[in-house]
Amino acid sequence: MSESQSKLPVSQLTHGIAEAAAVVALTALSIVLAAHFELTETLYALTRHWEYIQLDELPIGLLVLAIGLIWLSWRRNRQAARQLRARQQAEARLAGVLSENRKLAQEYLRVQELERKHMARELHDEMGQYLNAIKLDAVAISESGGSDAQFSVTTSLSIIRSIDHVHGAVSDMIRRLRPVGLDELGLAAAIENCVDHWRQRLPATRFSLTFRGDLHALHESLTLTLYRLIQEGLTNIYKHAGARQVDIVVERRESDRTGTDLLILTVADDGRGMDPRAGTAGFGLSGMRERVEMAGGAFLLQSVPGRGMSFSATLPAQRE
């Protein structure tokens, strides 16, 4: 919120006091002038001939009208103050969301550049060197003219090992860019493969994976969103939670209230946990929330320090 917006209520209060002081001064002046010129007596003398239409009761009606106008003005002033406070709170929330989005965009760019740097290093160190080794071995075989059979066999085996290494490096890069199993095996098998990968990295952690409902024929963007949520959630557990038990549930069912076809993901652990109100959630959780909301879903995070953390994502089950 800007400084001018924060000073706005003080400025309005100052103007209100000045206007009230002017009204009191004008009222006092009118009383003094009326007393000096005896306006009431003069008005009575002028209107006593029309007593039958009760003109002498007119001041009471005017007094009631004035009180009513004051009350209406007070009501309008209160409504304006409430609207101003609501607008300031909305602007403050919007400023917070915009600031978080800017930080998230900066983090996305940083991670993107870091991944590009990592892949460029792998292309140079792994593929570049091994391709150069393959070329040298092939040149050596060509120059030997096949005269030395043992040399040709040894060099050919070296080429095979180099090619296998390059193939493994390329497969790893492709896996990081996009989970191949998601296209070939489907959502459930791809998630199982992902969880098995984390079982190997966290042998002391027990993983429970449960599927409920039909997970076939889902839209590609939805399956990728679910996979990335599980991937990011398990990464956070690996980095921060120190959990002994992780429970993952993927469920497809109809909403009890609206009958909408929903896909619900829940990931829970018994690790260190955190205080969601402390504002310490990293960009991983913010990115997960944004990914879910972009897909038209709802993201819920629950955690207590020392008692684990769980998050759930509820998404509309779009078909292919």
Which domain does 269 fall in, by range? 186-316
Q: What stretches of the chain show up as alpha helix (H) in DSSP?
A: 3-6, 8-37, 39-47, 58-122, 129-144, 149-177, 180-184, 187-201, 220-236, 283-294
Angle between helices 283-294 and 58-122 (to 10 degrees): 110
Per-residue pLDDT of the chain (320 residues; tens, 9 = 90+): 444 444 445 666 677 788 878 888 888 888 888 787 777 777 777 767 766 666 666 677 778 888 888 899 889 989 999 999 999 999 988 888 888 778 777 777 777 777 777 777 777 777 777 788 888 888 887 777 766 777 778 888 888 888 888 877 777 777 677 776 677 778 888 889 888 888 888 888 999 999 998 888 788 888 888 988 998 888 888 888 888 999 999 999 887 777 788 999 999 998 888 766 655 455 577 778 888 888 888 999 888 888 888 999 999 886 55
90 and 145 co-located in one domain? no
pTM, entire model:
0.54
87 and 115 co-located in one domain? no
261 and 163 co-located in one domain? no
Residue with tokens 């892949």: 119
154 and 216 co-located in one domain? no
Domain count, the chain: 3
| Structure tokens that stand for 100 in this block | 């978080």
HSE on the CB side for 193, CA within 13 Å? 14
Q: Which of 158, 177, 196 is the last residue of a domain?
A: 177
| Structure tokens that stand for 215 in this block | 């997970």
Question: Could you tell me if 144 and 184 are in contact, meaning their C-beta atoms sit under 8 angstroms apart?
Answer: no
152 and 167 co-located in one domain? yes
Q: Which of 102, 120, 148 is the last residue of a domain?
A: 102
Q: Which of 84, 102, 120 is the last residue of a domain?
A: 102
Q: What stretches of 178-219 show up as alpha helix (H) in DSSP?
A: 180-184, 187-201
282 and 201 co-located in one domain? yes
